[in-house]
Amino acid sequence: MKIFIKNSKEIKKIYKSCQLAAKVLEIIKNYIIPGINTEEINNICHNYITKIEGAKSATLGYKGFPKSVCISVNDVVCHGIPNRREILKNGDIVNIDVTVLHNNYYGDTSKMFLVGNNISQKSKLLCLTAQKSLYKAINILKPGIRLYKIGQVIQKYVESKKFSVVRNYCGHGIGKNFHEDPQILHYKSYDYGITLKPGMIFTIEPMINMGHHNVYVANDNWTVKTVDKKNSAQYEHTVLITNIGSKILTIREEEKNIFKKN
């Protein structure tokens, strides 16, 4: 295991890539309406990343992934493939996961969107719980903290709401590589004694299920779905460990009043 500590030059570049990814989630908001298909959403994101931002989608062609963003609807947990036959309808919950490559560094972030005005209370709570579990984990970050604490905080909060934490996928170090060490588990597990250090950059991206945490990969070899067909929600940020705490590199404008230190 090799955890890279980033220097200030690298941090600047990763921050830039992270802000480009975050911006995509901001501009796509107005398009997430009943009747749009997920391929159209993909294309808007793709054009924004390439033509406006002058960056590249990191997902396009990654291990053969065919599209520029992951779009995961309802019981899709993650890695949903945008498709013109998948049409969003009132009541859907949708994760859009954006990873960009700019100036040789990656930035990775995702959030949930509610489609229309007819979302069930339970689905709303699921999305809010995923988001709050991410924020609770971010709030404990500082040098010296054991890595397993991240998963412990997320699992404790999610299970207190009677939801479950997906075990099969995790967060990851990020920088010059899309995915690098360490793995960031979202449930409590042995962390090999790793503690957080200034200059570490990694994602936290809890996937939260309404029912059981079991998932499977569909026949397309990408789409991850819940076994019990109940809904799943995910939020993802890329974070930097600083000397005194942490900085959310993928923070969006709408979040800046919640995290005043940023």
Binding site for ligand MF3 (CB under 6 A): 59, 62-63, 65, 70, 79, 97, 99, 108, 203, 205, 236
Q: Which does 59 bind (CB under 5 to 8 A by kind): ligand MF3, Co ion, none?
A: ligand MF3
Residue 118 CB coordination number (10 Å):
11
| Options 203, 231, 246, 250; binder of Co ion; rule CB under 5 A | 203
Q: Which does 17 bind (CB under 5 to 8 A by kind): ligand MF3, Co ion, none?
A: none
CB of 128 to ligand MF3, least distance (A): 20
Residue 34 CB coordination number (10 Å):
14
Q: What is the 3-state secondary structure of the chain?
A: CCCCCCCHHHHHHHHHHHHHHHHHHHHHHHHCCCCCEHHHHHHHHHHHHHHHCCCEECCCCHHHCCCCCEEEECCEEECCCCCCCCECCCCCEEEEEEEEEECCEEEEEEEEEECCCCCCHHHHHHHHHHHHHHHHHHHHCCCCCECHHHHHHHHHHHHHCCCEECCCCCEEECCCCCCEEEEECCCCCCCCCCECCCCCEEEECCEEECCCCCEEECCCCCCEEECCCCCEEECEEEEEECCCCEEECCCCHHHCCCCCCC
- Provide the β-strand partners of residue 99: 108
Does position 180 interact with Co ion (CB under 5 A)? The reply is: no
CB of 35 to Co ion, least distance (A): 26
Does position 92 interact with Co ion (CB under 5 A)? The reply is: no
CB of 171 to ligand MF3, least distance (A): 7
CB-nearer residue toward ligand MF3: 26 or 220 = 220
CB-nearer residue toward ligand MF3: 68 or 155 = 68
CA-derived radius of gyration, the chain:
17
Does position 97 interact with Co ion (CB under 5 A)? The reply is: yes
Does position 75 interact with Co ion (CB under 5 A)? The reply is: no
CB-nearer residue toward ligand MF3: 177 or 262 = 177
Does position 108 interact with Co ion (CB under 5 A)? The reply is: yes
CB-nearer residue toward Co ion: 1 or 257 = 1
Q: Which does 79 bind (CB under 5 to 8 A by kind): ligand MF3, Co ion, none?
A: ligand MF3
Interactions with Co ion, residue window 223-252 (CB under 5 A): 236
CB-nearer residue toward ligand MF3: 86 or 205 = 205
Binding footprint of Co ion on the chain (CB under 5 A):
97, 108, 203, 236
